[in-house]
A and B are shown apart, each in its own frame.
Chain A
Amino acid sequence: MFLRLVYESFRRQKRRKALAGVAITLGVAVATAMVAIATDVGDKMSRELRSYGANLLVTPQDDTLDLQIGGVDLKPPSDGTYLNEADLPRIRGTFWHHNIAGFSPMLPVNIDVQGRHLTLLGTYFSKKLTFGKEDFVTGVRITHPWWKVQGTWPDDASQDVVIGESLAAKFDLKPGEEIHIGSQAHRISGILSSGGAEDSQIVAPLSIAQQILGKPGAVRRLYVSALTKPEDALARRDPKTMNAELFDRWYCSPYVQSIAYQLQEAIPHSHAEQIRQVAQNEGTVLSRIKGLMLLVTLAALLASALAVSAAMATAIFERRAEVGLMKALGAGNASVAALFFVEGTLLALIGGFVGFAGGAVLAREIGHSIFGSQITIDPVLLPVILALAVMVTFTGSALAIRRAVKFDPVYALRGEG
């Protein structure tokens, strides 16, 4: 009898049920999408923040002081020690290699062009490397996304170079022309604009710089761009003072400090340091954006809960006459309330399922259109969201049900409400 009542109520009042159902579905869809975005936004933004460039710098351990003023390297080329280019692919073997977006070796050398002292910077543009069975691509096009080239980027295996825009203006050079460095002619494949010191330098594949220097395999500095977790109290501690368990936790968290530690392990005789300008601010900006999205999500959850409650309350108020009839026929308060609660639960479950699916699609679309990558939603969230939907529906209905049940059936049947 009870089941039939519920069934008939759904069959006969399709429009009303649909209205309440739509409210629940929408509420759940928005809640799902917002939770998905809030949990994933940190990860996505951390990738976007990589557009600020490298956050780690690896230098030779016993290097002499840099003599750099305004991007001009005054250090004698014979000075100091170098990293070994052959060691670089080992970065892919570190614990957090998935978090390393890219790296670029740098080797500045001094050259003379038309009687002027210039700096030629050897680097990777978009170089294919192999570590074990894994192939990957790395270079300045990943670690220095603000570098723009008018023309084409040189191939890493070629003798082509790009020249900085202020240098190009000074020498009146255009893409496609040639520049003589020493005895060798190099084709200029493009004009580089970096907004930094490179604007007055020549940037070439690493092997050309090594040739000029006469030191095959030499690398002066290595810029590493890594996805990191905002710094906390554990991150700032000195690993030497930690016990084994704490050290493992520190080592297995993608803090900028622990990634630096692992880079030092991977590359012999090296010293890795966070570039504080990028690394420190990244943490602050990331935590602000994450915090913002979390609070907005909370507000969204609250708003959809209230909206669903209001919709449920209206749906129940509409049915006072029915309550009156049931009570006049001898139904107890408990069974009337039970009927409403079962109906509410059914609506919440159906709306919850549909809303969850809709919310997942919504989150994916938003992820695609804003970040160009998917926002996936954890299926573990489904029971949580369903439970939440049922709870909200219950609390939304409870007050309305209480009032409906208390109402005198006589008035209700006479249609005075």
Chain B
Amino acid sequence: MSSRALVDTRRAEAQHTSMFVRMLVRAAVMRRGRAASALLAMVVAAAAATAMLNLYVDVQAKLRKEFRNYGANVLVVAHDGAVLPEGTLEKVEAVLGGRGLAVPFGYVVARTSDGQSVVVSGTDFERVRRLDSWWSVSGWPKTSRDALVGTRAAAVVSSQGKPFDLTFHGRTIHLTPAGTLSTGAAEDSRIYISLEGFENWTGERPATVEIAASGTPDEVNATIATLREALPRAEVHPVRQIMEGEARVLGKTRSTLVASASLIILTAALCVLSTLMGWVLDRRRDFAIMKALGASEGLISSFFAAEAGALGAVGAVVGFVIGVGVAAWIGRANFHAPVVPRLNVLPWVLGGSVAVALISAALPMSLLRRVQPAVILRGE
């Protein structure tokens, strides 16, 4: 091919492209109102889809965090009432790697000064506060001589909040109640002291580690498996009450969200369909004139397809931005933490929007193709 011919082809192509683009732009500018209403429908649909997809991914993580307030979902206990070997807590922490919380508990039955039996537990109060947020506590202990006394135990050991003595295996400890504890369960009958004070007094080590492992059920099960390997001398088992309750409620919430999301997206898509179909049908005069001037069917089709595609793409991008905003607002209003925008949703929204736009352009096009231009131009 000679250089002259090459330039000619280039020029012809350039002309062609610019005409095509000019037609597209003019069509949008000349019919601002109609283009705007079609674009509005597109933006709404894309925004709804983006918001729902963003929420769907993020809400589960957010709700899982709420569910961790139910406390431990994994329990490490020593075999047959023994104590856990030294270094258990460190091993558990290493397995968790920051994705969870482990709290050690030691238990003994001690005697009060008037000979009553009471369960005394040694634990790490800083961690318990975070693990068992439902504990209603009037004052947390600060030193190893302070005790947190369950409401029912308080009536027995120190009815007026006075200091009291406890004896275990002949060794006596003098404790000051820092506050009372109310949970409505077995904890109400116990006395909690710091782990350090507990170990010095009884010489016993923790017998239980309660773990709140975060993540999906699969991740928690993987954590349990790793813990079992790391701790051959202890029993590791899931707290079924917590795990199954969480799975059930989360599953139902997810299904409800999916149902609402598909309803919303479907409606928005159908509204886009009806709006765009009306828009294309309304332009049958343009179609007829182009055809009468000798445009090929392929050119006309690609023109309308490009128009619809551009509309879909612009609508998707604007809708994506708005949808991310809506999702962030819902996250902030409901969970007090914004929903992180997920860019990997964008291709889906973009693809879906363009596809819907193309379908809604293709349907009326196939109708128009069968009609003679003269009939349309005569206005029938």
Contact = CB atoms under 8 A, between A and B. Distances in A.
Interface of A: 16, 19-20, 22-23, 26-27, 29-30, 33-34, 37, 41, 44-45, 48-49, 51-53, 56-57, 63-70, 72, 74, 144-146, 193-196, 273-281, 284-285, 288-289, 291-293, 295-297, 299-300, 303-304, 306-311, 313-315, 317-318, 362, 366, 369-371, 400, 403, 415, 417
The 8 closest A-B pairs by CB, nearest first: A195-B240, A307-B271, A310-B41, A52-B245, A66-B189, A313-B37, A273-B184, A291-B334
A48 B257 contact: no
Contact of B119 (A34, A48, A69, A277): A69
A317 B37 contact: yes
Interface of B: 31, 33-34, 37-38, 40-41, 44-45, 47-48, 51-52, 55, 59, 62-63, 66-67, 69-71, 77, 81, 107, 109, 116-119, 132, 134-136, 152-153, 156, 182-186, 188-189, 207-208, 237-245, 248-249, 252-253, 255-257, 259-260, 263-264, 267-268, 270-272, 274-275, 277-279, 281-282, 285, 326, 329-330, 333-335, 379
Given A289-B253, A300-B260, A317-B282, A51 B41 contact: no
B184 A309 contact: no
A220 to B, nearest CB: 13
Contacts of B81: 70, 72
Nearest to B255: A370
Contact of A53 (B184, B188, B245, B249): B245
A285 B249 contact: yes
A57 B184 contact: yes
B205 to A, nearest CB: 14
Contacts of B274: 19-20, 22-23, 311, 314
Given A49-B245, A311-B271, 11 more contacts: A30-B263, A30-B267, A37-B256, A196-B240, A289-B249, A292-B330, A306-B40, A310-B37, A310-B271, A313-B37, A370-B252
B257 to A, nearest CB: 7
A362 B241 CA distance: 33
A279 B182 CA distance: 13
Contacts of B208: 70
Contact of B249 (A49, A274, A307, A366): A49
A34 B183 contact: no
Nearest to A278: B70
A406 B253 CA distance: 50
Contacts, number: 246
Contacts of B67: 281, 285
14 contacts: A19-B278, A45-B252, A64-B116, A67-B119, A274-B184, A275-B183, A276-B135, A277-B185, A284-B69, A288-B62, A292-B59, A300-B48, A306-B41, A318-B278
A314 B34 contact: yes
A226 to B, nearest CB: 13
A310 B44 contact: yes
B260 A146 contact: no
A273 B188 CA distance: 11
A400 B128 CA distance: 63
A67 B252 contact: no
Contacts of A300: 48, 260, 263-264
Given A33-B263, A296-B55, A285 B63 contact: yes
B183 A277 contact: yes
A42 to B, nearest CB: 12
By CB atoms of chain B within 10 A, which of A56, A57, A370, A400 has the most? A370
A308 B248 CA distance: 36
B282 A318 contact: yes
By CB atoms of chain B within 10 A, which of A68, A69, A145, A275 has the most? A69
Given A26-B271, A288-B334, A403-B33, A45 B253 contact: yes
B54 to A, nearest CB: 11
A146 B239 CA distance: 10
A296 B242 CA distance: 27
A53 B241 contact: yes
Contacts of A23: 270-271, 274-275
A66 B55 CA distance: 45
Contacts of A370: 252, 255-256, 259
B136 A276 contact: yes
Contacts of B277: 19
B134 A280 contact: yes
A195 B245 CA distance: 13
A70 B152 CA distance: 19
Given A66-B186, A315-B278, A303 B268 contact: yes
A299 B189 contact: no
A68 B119 contact: yes
B66 A288 contact: yes
Contacts of B47: 303
B51 to A, nearest CB: 6
A289 B63 CA distance: 8
Given A23-B270, A276-B183, A296 B330 contact: yes
Given A23-B270, A277-B183, A314 B69 contact: no
A121 to B, nearest CB: 15
Contacts of A285: 63, 66-67, 249
Given A66-B186, A276-B182, A309-B40, A48 B248 contact: yes
A27 B244 contact: no
By CB atoms of chain B within 10 A, which of A56, A74, A300 has the most? A300
A276 B117 CA distance: 25
Given A299-B330, A304-B267, A68 B207 contact: no
B278 A314 contact: yes
Contact of A310 (B71, B152, B260, B275): B275
Contacts of A144: 241
B33 A277 contact: no
B53 to A, nearest CB: 12
Contacts of A295: 329-330, 333-334
